[in-house]
Amino acid sequence: MGIHNLTKVIKKYYRPAEHPLSFYRTKKMAFDASLLTYQYLVAIRSDGAQLAHNSSSTSHISGFFYKIINLAEIGIKPLFVFDGKPPQVKSEEIARRNERRKDAAEKYSEAEEQMDKVKMEKYDKRKLKIGKEHTDDIKSLLDAMGVAYTISENEAEAFCAALCRKGIVDYVCTEDMDALCFRAPVLLKNFVKDSVAEYRLDEILRDMKLEFDEFVDLCILLGCDYAGTIKGIGPMKAETLIRKHRSIENIVKELQVTDYEYEKARETFLNMKNNVEVGFVGIDWQKYDRNKVFEFLKEKNFDERRINNGLDRYEKCRNKKEQSRLSDMFKKKSK
């Protein structure tokens, strides 16, 4: 879900840098794979990039297939991070989501009986839940294509942020702004577009004139997965209160609010632990198996011509990298 209205609040003071995708060539990036899976499952792709004859149930596979190829063509080294076990503090939000999905499923059935395609499409997205089968599909594809991935101990965006802080990756790529609350030094948004938005945490704090703890408290007040909001406090008022009182403790005391549970949310953002040891970031061409990729996609009823076209593009990246490596070796020997 991210942080409600955080982008709007930040942009009052800070403008993210914008760069073309090519700007990030050779960089290492951690991607929130669970969020990507969801985005691809709900997306109605209009670019003609679907591989399968029955694309509705395989859009996540198609999305990852082309994303990996595009990243390889740019020269970006990816590490896909999947969600692990959600923290206990998120249980209420998960319960609410399950209720919303149940309600959407009922409304979808009603729309189906009425043959209302517009409502069917609307509620089909809302009832969607990422299952183990979806995650297993993506892992199988990544294994066959030789692409690095890992599973977080908890939230993927927190793990990505820790990887970036440790210098294991250069950037965190996610549409969820709460990665900033987990201290992601640099966050990239709109990565599917020609112009990528680059948010730097230290610059955001500087321009907003906030300490990090104050920034986290502001995000909690705006609304996050780990805590509700205070009735009557919207984005503008939340920011005003933080600037005046500097902490949620002072705010609830001033407003005489006694039932706002925020402590666990703050603890989660500030102290979530992650073992960020990963062995590899990028594409291991030694592990890439064209036949395995082809057979996997074929079993999913993907169009054979498009599979081969995609893999031909992918293998050109390997050949280009090999030629570059040999060229570098020759230059060193000739010196």
What pTM was estimated for this model as a whole? 0.88
Question: Which is nearest to 157 in space by CA: 189, 182, 192?
Answer: 182
The Cβ of residue 200 has, within 10 Å, a number of other Cβ atoms equal to: 17
Phi-psi domain of 148 (left: phi exceeds 0; alpha: psi -120 through 50; beta: other): beta
How would you list the strands of the sheet with 195-200, edge to edge? 17-20, 195-200, 186-189, 171-173, 28-32, 77-82, 149-151
Token pair 């102290």 is found at 271
CATH 1.10.150.20 in the chain: give the residue spans: 210-269
Residue 52 is predicted with a pLDDT of 52
Token pair 């993907």 is found at 302
CATH 3.40.50.1010 in the chain: give the residue spans: 16-208
Q: Are 227 and 262 in contact (CB under 8 A)?
A: yes
pLDDT digit string, tens, across residues 13-60: 999 999 999 999 999 999 999 999 998 988 754 344 445 544 457 899
Residue 193 is predicted with a pLDDT of 67
Residue 80 is predicted with a pLDDT of 98
CATH code for the domain defined by 210-269: 1.10.150.20
Residue 82 is predicted with a pLDDT of 96
CATH code for the domain defined by 16-208: 3.40.50.1010
Question: Which is nearest to 36 in space by CA: 135, 179, 163?
Answer: 135
Q: What is the DSSP string of 137-199?
A: HHHHHHHHHTB-EEE-SS-HHHHHHHHHHTTSSSEEE-S-GGGTTTT-SEEEE-TTSSEEEEE
Q: Are 224 and 178 in contact (CB under 8 A)?
A: yes
Q: Are 172 and 184 in contact (CB under 8 A)?
A: yes
Q: Are 190 and 17 in contact (CB under 8 A)?
A: no
CA distance 197 to 100: 31
Residue 114 is predicted with a pLDDT of 80
Residues of the chain with pLDDT under 50: 45-50, 53-55, 325-334
The Cβ of residue 65 has, within 10 Å, a number of other Cβ atoms equal to: 26
Q: Are 220 and 262 in contact (CB under 8 A)?
A: yes
| Angle subtended at Cα 31 by Cα 137 and Cα 262, rounded to the nearest 5 degrees | 110
Q: What is the DSSP letter of 28?
A: E
Q: What is the DSSP string of 79-146?
A: EEEE--SPPGGGHHHHHHHHHHHHHHHHHHHHHHHTT-HHHHHHHHHHT----HHHHHHHHHHHHHHT
